Amino acid sequence: MAEEEGIIVSENVKANGEDTAPAVGMLSQYIKDLSVENPQAPHSFQWEGTPQIDVQVNIQVNAVTEEVHEVALKIAVKAESDNGVHFSVELDYGTLFGLRNVSDDQAHPFLFGEAPRLMFPFARRVVADAVRDAGYPPLVLEPIDFNALYVQQIAQAQALAEEQPAGEA
């Protein structure tokens, strides 16, 4: 590194397109699909008691190009009591991530662990707003440790592969 007038300049920086350093960036975020159901309204606003809240989360990754991947964070929330369903929200929240010079060994944990962690606050706000707009108090989902879930799922897949006798598929 050289220093010119107090500015540190890296001698390894190359012109656009010639840089071989790994780079990751969030290119775009969008709602792919949003469904809000309030099937028992207005009666459900009068029901006593706290409903049981069920939250399901799923992650899908699709390559758009060699350097662009779409990560879809799917969140389904259902509030139900003995009287029936209060509300149901299903969100499919997409984000495009650019990955340049990132190996598959590094891209997989990023796309299934770190990318959803970056997306979650935005998707959580959409869910909270949808529940509020359905006439209920906003539902603020608890943070999810996607990186820990990723590590756990990889460990489970490896354990399952080790248990399965060779030759079975």
DSSP assignment letter at 19: -
Say whether pTM exceeds 0.85: no
Q: Where are the domains of the chain?
A: 24-161
Spatial distance between the Cα atoms of 151 and 149, rounded to a whole number of angstroms: 5
Q: What is the mean pLDDT of residues 58-69?
A: 96
- Identify the CATH homologous superfamily for domain 24-161: SecB-like (3.10.420.10)
Q: For 18-52, how does the pLDDT look when each residue is reduced to its tens digit (9 = 90+)?
A: 667 888 999 999 999 999 999 999 998 888 888 99
pLDDT at 72 over 70: yes
Packed helices 146-163 and 115-133: angle between N→C axes, nearest 10 degrees: 120
User: Which of helix, strand or coil describes residue 102?
Assistant: coil
Question: Residue 87: what pLDDT?
Answer: 96
**What confidence tier does 7 reach under pLDDT thresholds 50, 70, 90?**
low
| Phi/psi at 122 (5° precision) | -75, -45
How many of the other CB atoms lie within 10 Å of CB of 103? Answer: 9
